């Protein structure tokens, strides 16, 4: 008789090392997920350990485990694994079919900027990421829908030297206060500069109209984005 194996049984993720941001990251960088210069050290997902639930064999290589499972336990079905391209890196992640992209970024990849929990129902915009260059709410997007697409988060944008003027302008103009809404606003800011080059106040306010800030930083985003746009020269 075929053995039934759940997805949870199949994967035992051994750990995600170094997910916590360092103490030096208490400025705009940490609000966006981690300081850009520390990003490579602090948000490195490592040491995955996959355990076969039927015989206990362990491997750090997903493909090797799938091969083992197919050869040694052909009677059991192999669960699926999603591959997501996040900030230019491909991540193989095990997700439940109902997991949103926000949950997946937080639980499976260890990102904390756009992925932290806010309204989680499409009302505030704080979870906004770019999917193939266009803003999308990660709390209302299924992770499995994102395979084959390019996902950008505030961490990836802040770590890109080309977008350093945007980070600096956000810090200079105090565009982040409590910081809850900031990763979503910041991600849309990149989209605005790429779309308009030198955006007007009206264009910025219209594009950011879905991003709610309870601290009332709205005017500061306009100042920061316009100043950064001039420095970035239209994102080109």
Binding interface with ligand FES (CB under 6 A)? 118-120, 122-127, 137, 139, 176-182, 213-215, 217
Name residue 51's beta-bridge partners: 58
**CB 225, min distance to ligand FES, A:** 15
**Quick one: 36 or 181, whose CB is closer to ligand FES?**
181
**CB 40, min distance to ligand FES, A:** 27
**CB 177, min distance to ligand FES, A:** 4
**CB 185, min distance to ligand FES, A:** 7
**Quick one: 77 or 178, whose CB is closer to ligand FES?**
178
**Quick one: 47 or 174, whose CB is closer to ligand FES?**
174
Q: What is the 3-state secondary structure (H, E, C) of the chain?
A: CCCCCCHHHHCCCCCCCCCCCCHHHCCHHHHCCCCHHHHHHHCCCCCCCEECCCCCCEECCHHHHHHHHHHHCCCCCCCCCEEEEECCEEEEECCCCCCEHHHHHHHHHCCCCCCCCCCCCCCCCCCEEEECCEEEEHHHCEHHHHCCCEEECHHHHHHCHHHHHHHHHHHHCCCCCCCCCHHHHHHHHHHHHHHHCCCCHHHHHHHCCCCCCCCCCHHHHHHHHHHHHHHHCCCC
Tokens of 155: 């961490």
Tokens of 87: 């900030």
Tokens of 99: 């997991």
**CB 194, min distance to ligand FES, A:** 21
**CB 223, min distance to ligand FES, A:** 14
**Quick one: 65 or 189, whose CB is closer to ligand FES?**
189
**Quick one: 10 or 135, whose CB is closer to ligand FES?**
135
**Quick one: 19 or 215, whose CB is closer to ligand FES?**
215
**CB 66, min distance to ligand FES, A:** 33
How far apart CA 209 and CA 229 sit, in angstroms, is 19
**Quick one: 39 or 221, whose CB is closer to ligand FES?**
221
How far apart CA 122 and CA 125 sit, in angstroms, is 7
């Amino acid at each position: 008789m075929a053995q039934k194996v759940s997805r949870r049984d199949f994967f035992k993720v051994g750990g995600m090392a170094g997910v916590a941001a360092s103490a030096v990251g208490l400025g705009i960088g940490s609000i966006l997920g981690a300081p850009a210069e520390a990003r490579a050290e602090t948000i490195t997902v490592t040491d995955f350990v996959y355990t076969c639930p039927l015989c206990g064999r362990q491997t750090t290589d997903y493909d090797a485990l799938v091969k083992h499972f197919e050869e040694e336990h052909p009677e059991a079905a192999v669960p699926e694994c999603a591959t997501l391209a996040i900030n230019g890196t491909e991540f193989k992640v095990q997700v439940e079919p109902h997991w949103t992209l926000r949950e997946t970024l937080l639980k499976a990849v260890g990102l904390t900027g756009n992925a932290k929990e806010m309204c989680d129902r499409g009302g505030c915009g704080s979870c906004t990421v770019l999917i193939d260059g266009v803003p999308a709410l990660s709390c209302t997007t299924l992770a499995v829908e994102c395979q084959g697409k390019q996902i950008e988060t505030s961490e990836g944008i802040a770590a890109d030297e080309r977008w350093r003027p945007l980070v600096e302008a956000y810090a200079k103009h105090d565009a982040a206060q409590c910081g809850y809404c900031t990763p979503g606003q910041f991600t849309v800011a990149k989209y605005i500069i790429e779309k308009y080059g030198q955006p007007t106040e009206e264009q910025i306010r219209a594009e950011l109209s879905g991003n709610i800030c309870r601290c009332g930083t709205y005017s500061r985003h306009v100042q920061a984005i316009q100043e950064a746009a001039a420095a970035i020269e239209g994102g080109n």
